[in-house]
A and B are shown apart, each in its own frame.
Chain A
Amino acid sequence: MHGLDAAFSALADPTRRAILARLAKGEATVMELANPFKMTQPAISQHLKVLEDAGLVVGRVEGTKRPRRLAKAGIEAMDQWLAILRKALERNYDRLDEVLASMERQKKGEKR
Chain B
Amino acid sequence: MSKLTLKTEGDTHVVVTRRFAAPPEAVYRAHVDPKLVQQWMLGPEGWSMPVCVNEARPGGKIHYEWANGKGGGFRLTGEFLELEPYSRIVHVERMHLPDPTPDNHIETRFDAEDTGTLMTMRMTLPNVQTRAAMLATGMERGMEASYVRLEGML
Interface of B toward A, CB cutoff 8 Å: 2-4, 6, 11, 16, 18, 20-22, 26-27, 29-30, 36, 39-45, 127-129, 131-133, 135-143, 145-146
Name the B residues within 8 Å of A87 (CB-CB): 142, 145
Number of interface residues of A (CB under 8 A): 30
How many A-B residue pairs have C-beta atoms within 8 angstroms? Tell me. Answer: 99
Indicate if the CB atoms of B44 and A17 lie closer than 8 Å: no
* A96 is an interface residue with CB less than 8 A from chain B: yes
Among B26, B128, B135, B142, the residue within 8 A (CB) of A103 is B26
Indicate if the CB atoms of B36 and A14 lie closer than 8 Å: no
Interface of A toward B, CB cutoff 8 Å: 14, 17-18, 21-22, 24-25, 36-37, 81-82, 84-93, 95-101, 103-104
Indicate if the CB atoms of B139 and A81 lie closer than 8 Å: yes
Indicate if the CB atoms of A25 and B26 lie closer than 8 Å: no
Indicate if the CB atoms of B127 and A36 lie closer than 8 Å: yes
Given the known interface contacts A37-B129, A89-B16, A92-B42, the answer about A104 and B146 at a Cβ–Cβ threshold of 8 Å is no
Q: How far is the CA of A87 from the CA of B143 in the complex (A)?
A: 10
Indicate if the CB atoms of A90 and B135 lie closer than 8 Å: no
Indicate if the CB atoms of A85 and B139 lie closer than 8 Å: yes
Given the known interface contacts A25-B11, A85-B6, A87-B145, the answer about A99 and B139 at a Cβ–Cβ threshold of 8 Å is no
Q: How far is the CA of A14 from the CA of B18 in the complex (A)?
A: 28
| B90 smallest CB distance to A (angstroms) | 20
Name the A residues within 8 Å of B136 (CB-CB): 14, 17-18, 21, 81
Given the known interface contacts A96-B20, A96-B30, the answer about A25 and B132 at a Cβ–Cβ threshold of 8 Å is yes
Name the B residues within 8 Å of A86 (CB-CB): 4, 6
